[in-house]
Amino acid sequence: MRVLIADEMHLSLLPMLQNKGFLFDYQPLITRKEILDVINNYEGLIIRSKTKVDVEFLDAASNLKFIARAGAGLDLIDIEETQRRKIEIFAANEGNRVAVAEHVIGMLLCLLNNIRVADAQVRQGVWLREENRGYELMNKTVVIIGYGNNGMATAERLKGFGCKVLAFDKFKSDFSDEFATESSMDQIFEEADVVSLHIPLTDETHKMVNQSYFDRFKKNIYFINAARGEIVELADLANCIESGKVRGACLDVLENEKLNKLTAEQKAAFDYLSKSDRVILTPHIAGWTHESYVRINEVMLQKIRQFLLK
SS (H, E, C) the chain: CEEEECCCCCCCHHHHHHHCCCEEEECCCCCHHHHHHHHHHCCEEEECCCCCECHHHHHHCCCCCEEEECCCCCCCECHHHHHHCCCEEEECHHHHHHHHHHHHHHHHHHHHCCHHHHHHHHHCCCCCCHHHCCCCCCCCEEEEECCCHHHHHHHHHHHHHCCEEEEECCCCCCCCCCCCEECCHHHHHHHCCEEEECCCCCCCCCCCECHHHHHCCCCCEEEEECCCHHHECHHHHHHHHHHCCEEEEEECCCCCCCHHHCCHHHHHHHHHHHHCCCEEECCCCCCCCHHHHHHHHHHHHHHHHHHHCC
- % of the chain beyond a pLDDT of 70: 100
Please choose, from the candidates 86, 91, 96, the residue with its C-alpha nearest in 3D space to the C-alpha of residue 69: 91
Residues 81, 113, single domain; the answer is: no
Cβ atoms 250, 223 nearer than 8 A: yes
Q: Which of 190-199, 234-243, 274-283, 296-305 has the lowest mean pLDDT?
A: 296-305
How confident is the model over 149-158, as a mean pLDDT?
97
The mean pLDDT of the chain is 95
Instruction: Judge contact between 148 and 198, C-beta under 8 A.
Output: yes
Q: How would residue 72 be classed by pLDDT, with cut points 50, 70 and 90?
A: confident
Q: How confident is the model at residue 153 (pLDDT cuts 50, 70, 90)?
A: very high
**12 with 59, same domain?**
yes
Say which CATH number the domain at 89 has: 3.40.50.720
Query: In this structure, are 176 and 86 located in the same domain?
Result: no
Q: Tell which wins on pLDDT, 73 or 149.
A: 149
Mean pLDDT of 90-100: 93
- Residue 238 shares a structural domain with residue 113: yes
Predicted pLDDT at 267: 97
Mean pLDDT (whole number) for 78-83: 94
1 confidence band (pLDDT: 50, 70, 90): confident
Asked if residue 117 and residue 248 are part of one domain, the reply reads yes
* Same domain, yes or no: 22 and 171: no
Looking at the structure, tell me whether residues 263 and 300 fall in a common domain.
no
pLDDT at 310 over 80: no
Phi, psi (deg, nearest 5) at residue 194: -135, 135
Query: For the segment 17-30, what is each residue's pLDDT rounded down to a tens digit?
Result: 999 899 999 999 99
Per the structure, the complete domain to which residue 77 belongs is given by 2-95+290-308
- Confidence band (pLDDT; 50, 70, 90) for 148? very high
Q: How many domains does the chain have?
A: 2
Confidence of residue 174 (pLDDT cuts 50, 70, 90): very high
β-sheet bridge partners, residue 246: 221
β-strands 44-47, 2-5: how paired? parallel
246-254 average pLDDT score: 98
On whether both 45 and 180 belong to a single domain, the answer is no
Same domain, 69 and 102: no
Domain check: are 159 and 260 in the same one?
yes
Same domain, 58 and 23: yes
263 and 221, same structural domain? yes
> Is the distance from CB of 57 to CB of 39 less than 8 angstroms?
yes
pLDDT band per the 50, 70, 90 thresholds, residue 78 = very high
- The length of the chain, given as a count of residues: 310
